[in-house]
């Protein structure tokens, strides 16, 4: 099994960057089969905290299009 894993790893590293990213995401998500029961509550609290910071002027938001361009350039 270790030999097969090494062969797969070697082949995967030859893939283009986007394909490696997609493969990595699928592999990682396959490890997360169990759901954290508190995750949704914690994400909601985090979203509410961030929204309050934006509304209060404590932080400034970044336009979505700018962030999308930045993310796309990072994976190229």
pLDDT tens-place string over residues 3-59: 999 999 999 999 999 999 999 999 988 887 666 778 888 999 999 999 999 999 999
- Cα 49–55–59 angle (5° rounding)? 75
CA distances from 35 to 30, 53, 74, 75 (A): 12, 29, 29, 28
For residue 23, which of 5, 9, 33, 6 has the smallest C-alpha distance? 9
The number of distinct structural domains making up the chain is 1
Q: How far apart are CA 62 and CA 47, in angstroms?
A: 15
**Predicted structure pTM score:** 0.44
Count Cα atoms within 13 angstroms, Cβ side, for 64.
Answer: 0
């Amino acid at each position: 099994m270790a030999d097969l894993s090494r062969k797969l790893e070697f082949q995967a590293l030859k893939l283009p960057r986007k394909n490696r990213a997609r493969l990595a995401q699928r592999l990682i998500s396959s490890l997360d089969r169990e759901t954290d029961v508190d995750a949704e509550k914690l994400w909601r609290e985090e979203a509410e905290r961030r929204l309050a910071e934006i509304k209060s002027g404590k932080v400034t938001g970044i336009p979505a299009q700018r962030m999308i361009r930045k993310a796309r350039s990072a994976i190229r």
